[in-house]
Amino acid sequence: MESMESQTKQTMISWGFMGGLGVLAYLSFLTQLFHSWIRDEEYSFGILIPLIVVYLVWNRRTKLLNSEKSSWLPGLILVLVGSGMQVFASRSGTLLLSGVSFVVTVSGIVGYLFGKKRLAVVLGPLLLLILMVPLPSYAVGQLSWYLQSAASTASGAVLGFLGVPVYQDGNFLRLPQYVLEVKEACSGSRSIFALLALAWALGISTDSKYWARVLLILITPILAFVANVIRIVGTGLVAREWGSLAANESLHTFWGLTVFLIAVFGLVGIQNLLRRAVCKSA
């Protein structure tokens, strides 16, 4: 009885010590991360990811408790590697590197305190934490530019196919009564990141095969792109019939949310199809 109480106290002390060091080491990173969630609409979904991770870990509690608990010394190496990455990231000001460092450090702590088998159970949810960190601004700018160009070209082609007279001038779609500009906010990068986080959560929350999880994540950017094209084409159809009504902010926001929900339901549907395919192949 005394030995069990002693082990419990040692575990609590270890958790408290490592947790305290973790807070001190990553306080600046977590503060910057919170500010980016609040100020940048592109990554406002990031505030939900830690909550999703907690839910996914809780959902695996039975498997976690049934796994063997032990001390895994290589976990300390991961902690040291993660800490070294954080030192470099704090000096270079790279938020994404701090995010990777944070995941490596937390994984090392879990592995050291609870063992390799329990780490394997929660590693999938922990890796999801990387998606809560914004990409560097230059990377987002490049991605948005490519997505803008591709979405403009695809939307112009679809509108032409539907019989709408349209002339594409870069990221401008010139219609008879309206000029539709595909802005950076309409590039679809925001929905891609949010849907990738959802795809990751869906993939690891079910007992799917590894290939099905990877395929679901690979399909997600395509789905997000198609949804964005539907959004632009829908706006173009409104502009053809009612002209400047397409610029109405409330209508634009409503249509954007509707298309995003369609993409979410589409992602869930694809996940169900992949799960059925896995069941049939088993």
pLDDT band at 3 (very low <50, low <70, confident <90, very high): low
Backbone angles phi, psi at 274, to 5 degrees: -65, -35
Chain mean pLDDT for the chain: 81
- C-alpha torsion angle, residues 26, 138, 258, 208 (rounded to 10): -60
Higher pLDDT, 27 or 245: 27
What single DSSP character describes residue 162? T
Domain regions of the chain by residue span = 2-132, 137-281
Distance (Å, rounded) from C-alpha 249 to C-alpha 255? 10
Backbone angles phi, psi at 260, to 5 degrees: -65, -40
| DSSP, res 69 | P
- Report the C-alpha gap between 36 and 133 in whole angstroms: 9
**Residue 96 reports pLDDT greater than 50:** yes
First to last CA, the chain: 46
What's the rounded Cα separation, in Å, for the pair 27 and 170? 43
Residues 49 and 197: beta-carbon distance below 8 Å:
yes
What mean pLDDT do residues 77-96 have? 85
| 34 has pLDDT over 70 | yes
Query: In sequence order, what are the beta bridge partners of 100?
Result: none
Confidence of residue 104 (pLDDT cuts 50, 70, 90): very high
Alpha-carbon distance 223 to 83, whole Å?
Answer: 37
The band of 22, judged by pLDDT with boundaries at 50, 70 and 90, is low
Task: Tell me if 133 sits within 8 A of 95, measured CB to CB.
Answer: yes
Nearest C-alpha neighbor of 140 from the set 104, 210, 89, 187: 187
Flag whether pLDDT at 103 surpasses 90. Answer: yes
**Coil, strand or helix at 136:** coil
C-alpha 5/C-alpha 1 separation (Å) is: 6
Our CA angle for 12, 16, 19, nearest 5°, is 135
pLDDT digits (tens, 9 = 90+) for 125-149: 999 999 888 887 777 778 888 888 8
Residue 1's pLDDT is 45
Residue type, 115: G
Asked whether the beta carbons of 74 and 89 are under 8 A apart, the reply is no
**pLDDT surpasses 90 at 89:** no
Q: Return the pLDDT at 2.
A: 47
21-to-49, 94, 106, 211 alpha-carbon distances in Å: 23, 20, 11, 38
pTM of the model: 0.76
pLDDT tens for each residue of 204-256: 877 667 788 888 888 998 988 888 888 888 888 877 777 666 566 666 777 77
Q: Is the pLDDT of residue 80 over 50?
A: yes
